[in-house]
Structure 1
């Protein structure tokens, strides 16, 4: 049996409706309820024909085309769970995933997309996020998505076509943007970066919004012009696969040896440490974090200027600022 045949349609529709209710109850649509219709309409199973589940002895693949009906049911339940799905592995390492739907909903709602916006998505992944954007905007040509891996980009293109959408799917380094499709009103990244690529700002209209994972948070910037942007982090944590590209190296891990156990496991401390990894040693970060009342992510922000970019606590001109790479 095929994953997309009539046998799948009814249980998939029921599972999708249940997922939408779950996301709604979590409050993820509150900021922009129009996204509820997009999640209700776009079938996630078309974008995740298989995924991997970690277990003893390695990863096990769940496949929608399995000849075993019980295995197909298990696959479908996983697809419509409010959970991230590992979709591509290389030598046991995760290189692409489908994000948790409720997190996707919060990000899309925070982006404040309006009719007629031109949107760039960095990190095509399965194509599911691009399909949600295309459904919301009602015009596939307003959506551009890019991925470094040709195989991932082509797979996303096929998934999108199966769902009835044909946005522009580019192959290349997402940090460079897609200048031939600019200018953009919104940019959303679904992969983690160590800083803000200047190419993105240069491809934005004034007033554009850029939402990107940074450290272990979600940064929302408002673009002033081609070289200036500023904004704060959203309150929630976010963990994404790092952007792959020739310019980006993985940051080294910081040793937390010697720090109190009550500090080492605190999410907001680990966020500060990730944000300031190039500048603050763990003990310095710990002292600041405790002195300032264990600040949450929403107290931090980033400013991008013509010559430098920096992260800050509370005020971009205040006493706490740290250069970004």
Structure 2
């Protein structure tokens, strides 16, 4: 971003963008402190270095914020210095950013940084791991992975939309990272780059694609959004994986292509109002969609003491997939859609 960049004190910087770099570095440091205080990377503090080093503003040269009647576009090349400052502050807010709209519908975003930190820490990445990211988004998450691993070739990211993958490549190159960016159906994985030690999805799915297990090394790990939660699966082999949900709520854009999206809203006429609006009950409904009547789900939810996400899990075994409460072989289990 060239030209004059003004800040609150009225001072600017000509030509080389040094003023922007300084402002971005200060905003990034503040974001890192905020994430650290949240405890998001407590499981793997090494991620602090990646978030401190990777410049998020290069991955969101523009984004959209909701306003009355639609969206407002904020962008780094705005002629008004106050608007540019607002864009930069927003780029380093601990908040998700809508980065691509189509016919008024959100199709791509940059996730909330503290949620990204939680997911990356729980992924359990180790030196030398090969990682596949499903959902390229802005490219920011792939850059964090590439920085952590210190080898761009260990990171592969895929998205169905060629416009998204092309912009992710540009953002990554601008930040100095060059992981492999693939245009294709994320549900099919990237077999030519397999096997992977870790697979992480940044889009929601109704079930676990078999291709992911087949492309993960035995002992590897898959972390994916599912039913407004995040499930972490330990992979035994190409036909078997199992794991529990984190206690963290997570709302992501659905995977487009082979794996999604899910069906529309469920009618809740017979369910008490207090349950309809309860976040944990909505999670149970999403997890058991089409398999458990809402009134049955409410009775179970009450009987089991409004269970948190961490009591639920997913098992994949010999072509079958099911969700469960407390025990994979217990009384509460529901098949997932194929």
Residue 248 (1) aligns with residue 247 (2) = no
Residue 194 (1) aligns with residue 206 (2) = yes
Residue 127 (1) aligns with residue 144 (2) = no
How many pairs are equivalent? Answer: 325
Distance 1:270 1:28 in 2: 24
Distance 1:23 1:32 in 2: 13
In structure 2, the partner of 1:65 is 77
Residue 174 (1) aligns with residue 186 (2) = yes
What is the CA deviation profile of residues 79-124 of structure 1, one whole-angstrom value per residue up to 9, with x for unaligned ones? 0000000000001000000000000000000001000000000000
Distance 1:7 1:250 in 2: 45
**Normalising by structure 2, what TM-score?**
0.95
Secondary structure in 2 matching 1:20: helix
Unaligned ranges ≥5, structure 1: none
What is the CA deviation profile of residues 113-172 of structure 1, one whole-angstrom value per residue up to 9, with x for unaligned ones? 000000000000000000000000000000000000001001000100011000000000
**Normalising by structure 1, what TM-score?**
0.98
Distance 1:209 1:5 in 2: 41
Change (3 A) 1:278 1:50: same
Give the conservation status (yes or no) of the 8 Å contact 2:187–2:258: no
Structure 1 residue 307, shift from structure 2 partner: 2.3
Distance 1:174 1:83 in 2: 25
Distance 1:157 1:215 in 2: 30
Secondary structure in 1 matching 2:252: coil
In structure 1, the partner of 2:316 is 304
Distance 2:50 2:269 in 1: 46
In structure 2, the partner of 1:94 is 106
Give the one of 218, 229, 235 matched to 2:241: 229
In structure 2, the partner of 1:257 is 269
Structure 1 residue 249, shift from structure 2 partner: 3.7
Q: Which moved more, 1:57-66 or 1:243-252?
A: 243-252
Structure 1 residue 247, shift from structure 2 partner: 4.7
Distance 2:17 2:235 in 1: 45
Distance 1:76 1:280 in 2: 46
Residue 18 (1) aligns with residue 30 (2) = yes
